Copies of this chain bind each other. A is one copy, B any other.
Amino acid sequence: MSRTSPFRQVRPVRLYQNIVDQIEGAISRGELKPGERLPSERELVGLFGASRPTVREALRVLEANGVVRSRPGDPNGPEVLPFSSAGLAKQMTRLAQLEELSIGELIAFRMIIDGSASMLAAYLRSPEELAAMQATLVAMEGSIEVGYDAFSAADLDFHDAIAQASRNRMIQICNAVVRDVVLQLIEDKVSHALDSEALMRESLAHHREVLAAIGAGDGEGAARISRRKLYDYYAGYVPEGEQATMLALLED
Contact = CB atoms under 8 A, between A and B. Distances in A.
Interface string A84-112: 01011011101101111100011011001
Contacts of A91: 65-66, 87-88, 91
B123 A248 contact: yes
A42 to B, nearest CB: 15
Contacts of A109: 168, 170-171
A116 B113 CA distance: 10
* Copies of this chain in its oligomeric complex: 2
Interface in A96-154: 97-101, 105-106, 108-109, 112-113, 116, 119-120, 123-124, 146-147, 149-150, 153-154
A240 to B, nearest CB: 15
Interface of A: 1-4, 12, 16, 24, 27-28, 53, 56-57, 60-61, 63-67, 72, 83, 85, 87-88, 90-92, 94-95, 97-101, 105-106, 108-109, 112-113, 116, 119-120, 123-124, 146-147, 149-150, 153-154, 167-171, 173-174, 178, 219-220, 244-245, 248-249, 251-252
